Chains A and B, each alone.
Chain A
């Protein structure tokens, strides 16, 4: 097996050999490797196929910007993870990884045929081709695209890993632990500011930590040695927290940032167990220092995507940090000085290399150094083509014309096994723009830079466009002193010597004799978009960068265009003949690198996913076999199946028992608001549609609450407990919103009212007993209470004691039966319930759930706000004009009840529906029409509630129908998938119109 590890470094522990599997084959690396460095050490460059043309692709970079080396980790159904960048994944014993996006395998890939038919797949191909015929989408195109595309596989079972969230507050947050970040953190922490320094790598130091060029020195030391010293220093600072393997995912307003800390991804399988995998840090920082550095740009030329073509600086890192060379015969293609550092480093380790430089000449220290070492340099030359299928084996270069627009002279063919490219550097301005910052364009080296620094956020180092070490350190120190308003002198006498870049030449799309249509000049490696695609988009009329991006899919892959956005912009600017800075950029959206869902949800999974509210009687319901329904956050008994009953049978039995003898419902979840104050009656007058001033103490009244737009908002019964004391009930789901709304009016519109609101929903438990025998059961529970109609009539309230515990008893009814609601302090709720059940035994007191409650109230024609209403129903639409006071001068929503729209006669109005076949039960939500012959069919409304009534022995339904009020007796049709159901419009009250049962 080949070994490309050619020297020892302090970052690779050669005493700790690590075995791992890649595409099913076992390899070895060392502790300290990433998957990418270990693969390269084994001579493996080919790691995947490109998305559209399925071209062979190799490792390009050494960091987060990697477009090609993305892999699937693990094969377990619950733990496998797609789209992991091999350049960031630390190697561990037992790692199993496989290449993505190639079928059947990376070396023989069927989709590769797309490469040969590529003239047929231009920009917007998917939009254009797969449009027609429509019927082909579902059966032909989509499965085909999904099979041949697809980036990795999602796990199919729940993630067993543990994730954590943590909130922290700091004076200063420093993002990035390179030279400038370390200096900033040190200055802040030494000045007594509580500081957090985060870096996404395993160790601090950025790209300076492995820098070893003699021409770059700080205080007479190699810059890497100097920096190691600084790192030792800052580790001693007590108010500095350092978090490595931690990357900022998002920078929100008000310096609120999300960071992901990797805790176990680098550990061997057995050591990962029972540990927190990742922690999401929710950081509030008074000030943020952005020191995220920059990433190297590729160059855009024909066939610039072959395996073995990497970024020049990545070749340098693999060599000096990991001890791995990417080839034995390397060519570096550059337009700036940084490739010379790589070249010199390679030369020193005995790796043959030559340089192809776009510039006509260059004269910095680094270049002189390279020249003196005898490194061959082709100035004013350009790479025009590369060769080799699974790995590059040679390339062609040509001389550039004076203006750089064409090539001149003869082709020179050079053999190589690796090509490093350097198109300059792109400052990582993601964090700055995510925080709301604007950008400026610097023509000199074609970079976007942070435009302004606000008082709570600043960019330093190369993400701010400062590229040489002297500039970085001097400017960082000055800016941090100002930004933090401190006077740190630590770096006053630091002596920095570094090479200064004097010459620049930037060409976004490199010239070629071959027509553009016949070249493959890749811009976005992961999404396979080329310079040709961008030009085609412009030719077709696209101008905005956001449109070109979507049409060509440039920058839309998992790497979010970290390597491609600048070239796309440059080529657009050149083609359209506008200045680059005037185009703007696409938006940099969070997250900077992909996050797993696990990190985002943290501990809020399984039973912690959502808050669950249970009543005091919950335990009894569980013991008695209740099926539960979620109502808001509440768990409410839905029905209580007996002896294997299905839902229908249980509900029929419960409903019949409630009307024939007695039923009991846990009504504790209804919202309860305690209202007190000398203006309480006036307040109710203003919030309900009906009149409240004359409600006697000890009486209850049903009320309808509107929005200011006149639409029904909530309903419930309110009881006058004493002169200035009411208890309001609301719907279960509406409780919190009603309280907020009432507070709003009290605090902002009517502050003069003396009224106090308190939510008491959780303070009381409620058992509601209904049915003809309910009075007898009440009598057993409260033998001293006079239950006669004279003393305790319908819609009234009494207090009595149950074994010395105070109870509030309301005689109110939501079922149409004689009915009592007993309220008791919540801690006694379960006892109350059990006593009711005990007392009711001889009367077949039957517990019933929400489904039966809904059925019973529908028989009686009572609405449920939110089921029979949807925010567009006025009281009149509900045929409830009786509840709207004509006398009251004002109440919330009153004026809206006679707007031109609300007085329309043809609004949708609530009606009853009876099916011609009494056994036919309608589907809730079904559409209602009167004529199915003329097309398009005129839709009149829909069914809102539908049940089979065991008490009436027929199907009943409520519905909203256009002009429904005038349609009683009329025949309508409910068209269903396989039949039309005939119905007749009826009254909304199906049972006991005379209210005999209420007073039974």
Chain B
């Protein structure tokens, strides 16, 4: 059961949050210009990394804000949290 440091509310129990999968996948600005394969790349393909992963979380039973999390999926340690629109911390990757 994670303790997640919501950038707006502080540390809260995981049960207040919902996970939104991989972060930094930008919705294409002009979907109609894309081939089936390109669209499928956006729609379906996810990295599912063992190790350091950038992912989205929503404080759904709290402030309802979405934000980003850097998590090591091999030990579940959350290394960093940052707001939507902010650049990912450079010391990971």
Residue of B26, B34, B39, B75 near A436 (CB, 8 A) is B75
A252 lies within 8 A of B1 (CB): yes
A894 to B84, CA, bound (A): 25
Contact with A along B31-44 (1 / 0, CB 8 A): 11010100110010
- How far, in angstroms, from A252 to B76 measured CA to CA in the complex? 11
Q: Does B20 contact A (CB under 8 A)?
A: yes
Checking A284, A748, A749 against B3 with a beta-carbon cut-off of 8 angstroms, the contacting residue is A284
Q: Find the A residue at minimum CB distance from B33.
A: A895
Contacts of A256 in B (CB 8 A): 1, 3
**B36 CB to nearest A CB, Å:** 5
Cβ-neighbour of A751 out of B30, B36, B84 (below 8 A): B84
- Interface of chain A residues 737 through 760 with chain B (CB within 8 A): 740, 743-744, 747-749, 751
Q: Does A890 contact B (CB under 8 A)?
A: yes
Interface contact A894-B56, CB-CB below 8 Å:
no
* In the complex, A468 has a CB within 8 A of chain B: no
Q: Across the interface, do B1 and A254 meet the contact criterion of CB distance under 8 Å?
A: yes
B36 touches A900 (CB 8 A): yes
Contact of B66 (CB < 8 Å), options: A252, A709, A747, A899: A747
- What is the bound-complex CA distance between A748 and B84, given in angstroms? 6
- Nearest 9 Cβ contacts at the A-B interface: A895-B31, A256-B1, A747-B66, A254-B3, A252-B1, A749-B27, A253-B76, A895-B39, A748-B66
A896 within 8 A of B: yes
CB of B18 closer than 8 Å to a CB of A: yes
Distance in angstroms from B69 CB to nearest chain A CB is 13
CB distance from B1 to the nearest CB of A (A): 4
Q: Indicate whether A225 reaches chain B with its CB closer than 8 angstroms.
A: no
Is A743 a contact partner of B2 (Cβ separation < 8 A)?
Answer: no
A-B contact pairs, 25 of them (CB 8 A): A253-B76, A254-B2, A254-B3, A256-B3, A436-B75, A708-B43, A709-B43, A740-B18, A740-B60, A740-B64, A743-B66, A747-B65, A747-B66, A747-B84, A748-B66, A890-B31, A894-B32, A895-B28, A895-B31, A895-B32, A895-B34, A895-B39, A896-B39, A896-B43, A899-B40
CA distance A736 to B45 in the complex (A): 26
List of B residues within 8 angstroms of A284 by Cβ? 3
Known: A894-B32, A900-B36. A253 touches B64 (CB 8 A): no
Within 8 A of A (CB), among B41-58: 43, 56, 58
A751–B85 touching, CB < 8 Å: yes
Residues of B within 8 A of A708 (CB): 27, 43
Residues on the A chain within 8 Å of B75, using CB: 436
Could you tell me the distance in whole angstroms from the C-beta of B84 to the nearest C-beta in chain A? 5
Q: How far is the CB of A7 from chain B (nearest CB, A)?
A: 48
Known: A253-B2, A284-B3, A748-B84. A743 touches B43 (CB 8 A): no
**A744 with B20, Cβ < 8 A, contacts A751-B85, A889-B32, A890-B32 known:** yes
Q: Which of B31, B36, B66 contacts A744 (CB 8 A)?
A: B66
Residues of A within 8 Å of B36, CB to CB, are 899-900
Alpha-carbon gap, A894 to B40, bound state (A): 13
B46 to chain A, nearest CB (A): 13
Are B1 and A253 within 8 A (Cβ)? yes
How many angstroms from the CA of A889 to the CA of B33 in the assembled complex?
11
Point out the residues of chain A lying under 8 angstroms from B65, CB to CB: 747
The chain A residue sitting closest to B78, CB to CB, is A254
- A899 and B31 CA atoms in complex are apart in Å by 12
* Interface 0/1 of A874-892, CB less than 8 Å to B: 0000000000000001100
CA gap between A748 and B65 in the complex, in Å: 10
Contacts A890-B32, A895-B39, A900-B36 supplied; 17 other A-B pairs, CB < 8 Å: A254-B1, A254-B2, A256-B1, A708-B27, A708-B43, A740-B18, A740-B58, A740-B60, A743-B66, A744-B66, A747-B65, A748-B56, A748-B66, A751-B85, A895-B28, A895-B31, A899-B36
Q: How far is the CB of A483 from chain B (nearest CB, A)?
A: 18
Residue of A nearest to B14 (CB): A254
Q: A256-B1, A743-B64, A747-B66 are in contact. Are A436 and B76 (CB under 8 A)?
A: yes
Cα distance, A955 to B54, chains bound together (Å): 54
Contacts of A743 in B (CB 8 A): 58, 64, 66
Q: Which residues of the other chain, B, contact A254 by a CB distance below 8 angstroms?
A: 1-3, 76
- The complex places the Cα of A571 from the Cα of B28 at a distance, in Å, of 59
Cβ < 8 Å to B, chain A residues 394-447: 436
Residue of B nearest to A710 (CB): B43
A853 and B22 alpha carbons, distance in the complex (Å): 41
- The CA-CA distance from A744 to B25 in the complex, in Å, is 13
Q: In the docked arrangement, what's the CA distance between A491 and B26, Å?
A: 60
Q: Please, which residue of chain B has its CB at the minimum distance from the CB of A892?
A: B27
Chain B: which residue is nearest A750 at the CB level? Answer: B27
Instruction: List, in ascending order, chain A residues with CB within 8 A of B40's CB.
Output: 899
Whole-angstrom distance between the Cβ of B62 and the nearest chain A Cβ = 12
Interface string of A260-293 (1 = CB under 8 A from B): 0000000000000000000000001000000000
What's the Cα separation between A190 and B85 when bound, in Å?
46
What are the residues of chain B within 8 A of A894 when measuring CB–CB?
A: 31-32
With both chains docked as a complex, state the minimum distance between the C-beta of B41 and any C-beta of chain A, in angstroms: 12
C-beta contact mask, B58-93 vs A, less than 8 Å → 1, else 0? 101000111000000001100000001100000000
Q: How far, in whole Å, are A947 and B58 apart by their CA atoms in the complex? A: 41
Q: Bound complex: CA of A254 vs CA of B14, how far in Å?
A: 10
- Identify the closest chain B residue to A436 (Cβ): B75
Chain A residue at minimum C-beta to C-beta distance from B4: A254
Quick one: which of A719-750 are within 8 Å of B by CB? 740, 743-744, 747-749
Rounded to whole angstroms, the CA-CA distance of A253 and B72 in the bound complex is 13
**Chain B: minimal CB distance from A754 (Å):** 16
Instruction: Give a binary string over A820-859; 1 marks a CB under 8 Å from any B CB, 0 the rest.
Output: 0000000000000000000000000000000000000000
* Chain B hits for A889, CB < 8 A: 32
Q: How far is the CB of A332 from chain B (nearest CB, A)?
A: 44
Interface residues of A in 585-603 (CB under 8 A from B): none
A895 to B28, CA, bound (A): 10
Contact mask B9-24 → A, CB, 8 Å, 1/0? 0000000001010000
Residues of A within 8 A of B64 (CB): 740, 743
Which of A256, A708, A748, A890 has the most chain B CB atoms inside 10 A of its CB? A748
Q: CB-CB < 8 A to B39: which residues of A?
A: 895-896, 899
> What are the interface flags for A166-210 relative to B under an 8 Å C-beta threshold, 1 for contact and 0 otherwise?
000000000000000000000000000000000000000000000
Bound CA span A899–B64, Å: 33
A251 to chain B, nearest CB (A): 11
CB within 8 Å of B: which A431-470 residues:
436
